Amino acid sequence: MAALGETEGTNIILAALPQLEYSFGKLAAAGYEKTSERTGYPPSLGSYNCIAWAADDAHHFMWPAPDLEWPFWSPRIESRAAFVAAFKWLGYRVCNNSRVEFWFHKVALYELAGSPKHMARQLRDGTWTSKCGGAEDITHYTLDALESYGPSPAKGEYGRAEIYMKRFILVSWAVQFLQWLEWKLESAWPHLGFLIWRKRQ
């Protein structure tokens, strides 16, 4: 998983992303910046997705599908309760809003028709960072920049931000250290990853 503080900073890459602007009609007007190159999808090495990125993890592709990685402590179902449970074990608690709070890190869960679709993580300046599937990471200035209702595959289907969660910053540092340690152990003993992430073969 990500090293301590690895995902907090972003490297701005001055480039337009027409495919994302087309998928998310509000993105260009709301403003965004590219912060990584494409990583692709599993089984490509180095692939990760929005859920992992929101969890400060750039080493896993987290989704409760049978062939993808999902933490053992959360039910493997696409529901709000399962996603909230996954992040509760990372120190997050549901909160009422997306406003910046100095002592807390926040994430937002997007839903469409009651089904989880995407997550974004708040940066210290109040902007948001997202991994768009296997595409690039971006910093977007507002949550509604990624609001979208399809139809897929031409248009995004993220719905809108419905649930907010926050984590005390000192807890974040402790969890990020444990994530770094877990990734080192998983790199040395790959079978450990199957126990933690319940990836089904």
**Per-block average pLDDT, block size 10, for the chain (201 residues)?**
43 77 96 95 92 96 93 95 98 98 98 97 98 95 97 91 98 96 91 70 39
Sign of CA dihedral 92, 200, 112, 32: positive
pLDDT at 13: 60
**Residue 116 CA to its chain's centroid (Å):** 12
**What gap in Å lies between CA 106 and CA 93, rounded to an integer?**
9
Q: 182: helix, coil or strand?
A: helix
Longest Cα pair distance anywhere in the chain, in angstroms?
Answer: 46
